[in-house]
A and B are shown apart, each in its own frame.
Chain A
Amino acid sequence: MNNGHFSRYAPKSSIDIGVFLCKCGGNISDTVDIERLSSSIDAKVVKEFENLCSIKCQKNIRDIILEEELDRAVIAACSPITHEKTFRNHVAPLNPYLLEMANIREQCSWVHSDVDKATDKAISLTNAAIERVKYARPLDTIIRKTKKSAAVIGGGISGITTALSLAKQGIKVHIIEKSPTVGGNMIKIGKVFSPEKLAEECALCLFNPLINEAVQHKNINIITNAELKSSIRKTGNFNLLVERKATYVKEDKCTACGNCTEVCPVDVPNEWNEKLMMRKAIYKPFPQSVPDAYTIDKENCIKCGKCVKVCAMNAINLKMKRELIPLDAGSVVIATGHKGFDLKKRPEYGYCRYEDVITQMELARIMGVNGPTNGKLLRPSDGKIPGRVVMIQCAGSRDDKPEGKRYCSKVCCMVALKHASFIRHYYPDTEIIICYTDMRTPGMYENYFRYVQSKEVKLLRGRPGEIFNKGDNLVVRVEDTLNGELTDIETDIVVLSEAMEPSEGTLKVAETLNVGLTEDLFIKEKHPKIRPVTTDVEGIYVCGTAQGPKDITESVSQANAAASKVSEIINGGLEIEPTIAEINHSRCSMCGNCISACKYKAIYMYDEHMSVDPVSCTGCGICISKCEHNAVEIMGQTDAQIHAMIYGMLKDKKDDEQRILAFVDYIGYVASDNMGINRISYPESVRIIRISSINRLMPKHIMFAFENCADGIFLGEYPDDIMYPAIQEKVHEIRSELIKNSIDPDRLMYYKVYAPYFRGLANKLIEFDKQVSKALDKLEAVLYKASSKDL
């Protein structure tokens, strides 16, 4: 139809192509007439071999390429999935990407039995490869060098664990912690429960050794009072800007003697102790803080200067400014943790109204030895020991109403039991009633549940609706659903088991790093089952409660997993195939359509240019459809190559022959090979073309196929979560284009392919082949009728 020139990169007038045919020990030559195939091909060199994959043949090919001064190579043999990599090396000294393969085994000799038809198909498959290879360009593997450093955002148990694991693998780690001390939520909770012990362990005793190790490790740098301000992503590396608050205290000079705090006149509610007591404007969050230094709270400091006068080390400088610290990191791990649900959103529980309604975290602080009451369980209102404690589960969790969290916060049942056990042990006269809907203590935690029940903790099944006060006491109104009685429980203290939600830092960091969030606003993993701890941005990982509600045991596991992932890219290094998007900067108008279209967040702006991250880019081609300036190409899958392949597949088509082009993605191709491997037949009309994704195709390619006498177009792709909506749109777009051009849409079919369901694929191809015949018969009838009318 046309002379086969498809791009401005027109090949030089004569390209010397060598075609190497493999008999595959009879696997191919038993069905495909290799001699006829050989004589039907137009190329400078055409040679037949028994077994192309043998070492002897490798040498043969090399010799032929050198002697005949060939520019390109085509190998017609088995599936590229089996041996493409091997053959790419075989064609040296030619660039490995100047090779094209034709699959005449799995997709020809193994699925067809008619020798003539099979040979015809093999000829067209080889021709297609020849046409395509004319437009191949030399490409080089991309070697990705990642800096041997990581930034961990958040210095809690997850952050510290990740940092230690990375440091031990020789990677430099910067821990960026928002508050004046590391430790996060774990050091606030006093006691922790364990899956194996029927006793509670001291959180600080478990955590401190890790903190110390982190502080002393030469590969770890801890920056407290710091937040991530901005991040610029550049192929595998992150240029981070960290802002360190002005704390007015020189950390390296401060000996934490405490003289300053004694003279400070400003009282501020102590957040570390859940605002149950006061601190000064110059303070250390708690006695075992790390770093062991004081901090001045800028918002409340009145700059009276009293502390400066008593500081023997001259460590206070009230003129200190905030610091901007640039960091280079190969990877980022988000370990920003969680916060407790704000019980103001459930006013019926009276959290803001009654002093004696508290959260589990507040209870933890009260019972903590370094807390506001030095560890004594005392009522906030009058300081007396309570006679009864009522705990209310699911406060804010499992709640579909506005502002409620619909999920289960996972740890609250165990937390309530832990506190109940503790209280029963130290205050045997204090009664505990837990109002629950379900007690969720999975796995070995069930043993702990039984143990705590035996300590006389009363369980009442019912979800309370309100709390009100009666004199000095509180009353919890609940229905005891197990006996159907509406019950008023009088009590001294109510403890609400508050839901766990993502911390403010988590939301902020997600925005700064452009990382996706789930519907519940936790950091979203690429795939929770097979790609955990990975976010949708290459190089950024997540662990701990920033990813979702979980206990410390799980957090530590996840933190180690994240470290392992970081180590994979930093230590393992990466060789990336160059078949990715490339941007022509002279055509690019910086409109940004490609950035928003890319589902893998592979395109980003850097230094006033659009850049492609080779690790994230899958070469799917969505960006090309959205670029209005033709500024993007996929290397190794250019428009020219696609057109050439289509042309080649349809070349020399006979009048009574039916040819269907089947464009399939990688999974589709594997399924197609599987048909061959299992010797399942389908019509010879089907010619399979591998593409990165249906999204690479545009209506122009399909129309080109029809203009070149294609009878039907089959599109097969795995319905990946991320890509599926775009695929549907694309199919719809193509279908509309057909209708616009008066082509029967029955000649187009889209099928969801799954690798193991190759039988389904075969059946679909058989069905489609018939459908196309019918459509063509209909067309013929219409044309005949029209022409006979003219008579």
Chain B
Amino acid sequence: MKKIPDKDILLFKSCLVNVEYPGVESSTKFLFDKLGIEYITSEKQSCCTGLGHYADLFDQFSTSALAARNFGIAREEGHKNLATLCATCYAILKKSANILNKKDDVRNRINKIFEDSNIPDLTYNAEDMDSRDNIFHVAEILFNKAGEIEDLVEIDLSGFRVASHHACHYCKVHHNDTIGNVRDPMVIETLARACGVEIVEWYDRKTSTCGNGFRQRYMNKELSFLVTSEKLISLKENKVDILLHMCPNCQLQFDRNQKVIGESLEVEFNIVCLNISQFLALALGADPYRVVGVQTHTVPVEPVLDKIKQINSCFEV
């Protein structure tokens, strides 16, 4: 298994987390602080271009150029280990690192662009960033500390049936670097188990995509929703209360579209969608509104919070 760091980390911000589920970022910071993980964020960091890249708008060269810029910033700030909040960022950055390391002509062209743009400090030298050893997903950083998390759990979450949706772009794109079995990673399950919660280890369609499909959600809404329905129906059959995510894209798809999909199928789903960081933060006693950010969710999280309060008298909302 690859070596996972707990310091020199640049927490890589995500555009979707920023505007849709900012609680994911604050929950992650909460956890990192509790676990003594050394990290920074940088206001200079740009978006990875993920959504635009997979909408076929951004070409690979431009995406890699911006990745090289972000890598340069990480180096400048002395924090070379990137930890992404979003799976799309994870895959895009790793691919760009591979291209920059292996394709000399691309790297040289990008460095020339940096020179011509008067930002020579960002020059990327081959092997400055290693895809496997320097680029991680936040869930992996936490996975490494599963034992410590277990010791820090304050809130009893055992009353919920929980299932995972492992982001496709985490496990399937760079499958040699995925923790666990590519076909069924169990990273989220391991973390959830540390909270003592009941996990539905398998449900039909577990490894299927969330259905967002980047351009599909907007240009082919019906098709996109057909795929998401498959998952929601299966989750309902398995009586899942909370679906755990590791990517804001998936979280968005399941959370915001749930009502509309439910209406078309004449089914009420009521599956709360939490990012694994949010879930763990709750378990470690974080405030649901001031840290976990549940107020930005579409499927109301309040029922879950109420149930937690019933079991945990100390739980303050």
Contact = CB atoms under 8 A, between A and B. Distances in A.
Given A401-B175, A402-B175, A402-B176, A347 B204 contact: no
Contacts of A145: none
A403 interface: yes
A348 B184 CA distance: 8
Interface in A380-421: 401-403
Contact of B183 (A346, A353, A468, A469): A346
Given A402-B182, A403-B181, 9 more contacts: A346-B183, A347-B181, A347-B183, A348-B183, A401-B182, A402-B175, A402-B176, A466-B207, A469-B204
B116 to A, nearest CB: 41
19 contacts: A345-B181, A346-B183, A347-B181, A347-B183, A347-B184, A348-B183, A348-B184, A348-B207, A353-B202, A401-B175, A401-B182, A402-B175, A402-B176, A402-B182, A403-B181, A466-B207, A468-B204, A468-B205, A469-B204
A466 B204 CA distance: 10
Contacts of B184: 347-348
Contacts of A469: 204
Interface of A: 345-348, 353, 401-403, 466, 468-469
Contacts of B202: 353
B186 to A, nearest CB: 9
Contacts of A345: 181
Nearest to B178: A402
Secondary structure call for the B interface: loop
Nearest to A350: B202
A457 B80 CA distance: 59
Contacts of B181: 345, 347, 403
Nearest to A403: B181
Interface in B213-228: none
Contacts of B183: 346-348
A468 B231 CA distance: 13
Interface string B13-33: 000000000000000000000
A615 B176 CA distance: 43
Contacts of A402: 175-176, 182
A466 B175 CA distance: 18
Contacts of B204: 468-469
Interface size class of B (residues with CB under 8 A): 10 to 19
Nearest to A353: B202
Interface in B254-291: none
A468 B206 CA distance: 11
A353 B203 CA distance: 10
Contacts of B207: 348, 466
A401 B175 CA distance: 8
Interface in B154-211: 175-176, 181-184, 202, 204-205, 207
A355 to B, nearest CB: 14
A326 to B, nearest CB: 41
The 5 closest A-B pairs by CB, nearest first: A347-B184, A347-B183, A468-B204, A348-B183, A353-B202
Contacts of B175: 401-402
A348 B202 CA distance: 10
A468 B208 CA distance: 12
Contacts of A466: 207
B190 to A, nearest CB: 15
A195 B175 CA distance: 41
Nearest to B203: A468
Contacts of A468: 204-205
B235 to A, nearest CB: 14
B58 to A, nearest CB: 29
Contacts of B176: 402
Contacts of A353: 202
Contacts of B205: 468
A20 to B, nearest CB: 65
Nearest to A349: B183
A401 B205 CA distance: 21
B176 to A, nearest CB: 6
A401 B181 CA distance: 11
A353 B201 CA distance: 10
A188 to B, nearest CB: 28
A402 B171 CA distance: 12
Contacts of A346: 183
Nearest to A475: B204
A347 B182 CA distance: 9
Nearest to B205: A468
A403 B184 CA distance: 13
A395 B175 CA distance: 19
Nearest to A468: B204
A346 B182 CA distance: 9
A347 B186 CA distance: 11
A353 B207 CA distance: 15
A234 to B, nearest CB: 41
A348 B172 CA distance: 14
Contacts of A401: 175, 182
A403 B182 CA distance: 10
B232 to A, nearest CB: 16
A490 to B, nearest CB: 15
A234 B202 CA distance: 55
Nearest to B182: A402
B202 to A, nearest CB: 6
Residue of A346, A347, A348, A401 ringed by the most chain B CB atoms within 10 A: A347
A403 B178 CA distance: 13
Contacts of A403: 181
Interface string B286-299: 00000000000000
B115 to A, nearest CB: 37
A347 B207 CA distance: 10
A345 B175 CA distance: 14
A469 B204 CA distance: 8
A402 B180 CA distance: 10
A347 B202 CA distance: 10
Nearest to B202: A353
B216 to A, nearest CB: 18
A466 B203 CA distance: 13
A344 to B, nearest CB: 8
A127 B202 CA distance: 84
A469 B234 CA distance: 12
